[in-house]
Amino acid sequence: MEQRDIIEWTEYSEYRELTIPSGEIWMSESELVDLFGVFIPKLRNTIQTLYKEDLVKPYETERTIKQNRNLYLSVYNMEVVMLLAFRLNSYQARAVRRELMERIERNHKPFEVILTAQYPSSS
């Protein structure tokens, strides 16, 4: 069985916390359903839409891993998870979006872009 990390909700007595590990993220449909609080048909349709719109390629973002007893599981990478967070409309998807944005803003390093332009001479 292959080792992989997943994003998940951690339940505490008074609240839930989103845990995003720093390792390589690969998540199954059932894990994504739990994360985003949607039903499987909605999740599958949204993933198929991502493929149809050419936002991601299945061969880059999806793989099949072998589980115990010769069971196989399709899993999706972090790119798909992030796109789903912005495509799905549920309370959990909004919470995942907020957490992802906060982490990006927190770790964002400022940078400068200098553009130079040459204008045609007016002779």
Q: How far apart are CA 109 and CA 98, in angstroms?
A: 19
User: Is residue 70 assigned to a domain?
Assistant: yes
User: Is residue 121 assigned to a domain?
Assistant: no
Total count of domains within the chain: 1
Which residues are CB-contacts of 105 (< 8 A; sequence separation ≥ 6)?
none
User: Is residue 12 assigned to a domain?
Assistant: yes
pLDDT at 1: 47
User: Is residue 118 assigned to a domain?
Assistant: no
Tens of pLDDT, residues 39-66 = 999 999 999 999 999 999 999 999 999 8
Tens of pLDDT, residues 24-43 = 899 999 999 999 999 999 99
Q: Cα angle vertex 102, ends 97, 103, to 5°?
A: 100
User: Is residue 16 assigned to a domain?
Assistant: yes
pLDDT at 20: 84
Q: How far apart are CA 115 and CA 86, in angstroms?
A: 31
- The mean pLDDT value of the chain amounts to 88
Tens of pLDDT, residues 66-96 = 888 888 989 999 999 999 999 999 999 999 9
Whether 73 and 65 have beta carbons less than 8 Å apart is answered as yes
User: Is residue 90 assigned to a domain?
Assistant: yes
Does pLDDT of 98 surpass 70? Answer: yes
pLDDT at 123: 60
Which residues are CB-contacts of 40 (< 8 A; sequence separation ≥ 6)?
29, 30, 33
Query: What band does 122 get if pLDDT is binned at 50, 70 and 90?
Result: low
User: Is residue 3 assigned to a domain?
Assistant: no
pLDDT-above-90 percentage for the chain: 53
Q: How far apart are CA 100 and CA 78, in angstroms?
A: 11
User: Is residue 116 assigned to a domain?
Assistant: no
Give the domain range for residue 51: 8-107
Does pLDDT of 2 surpass 70? Answer: no
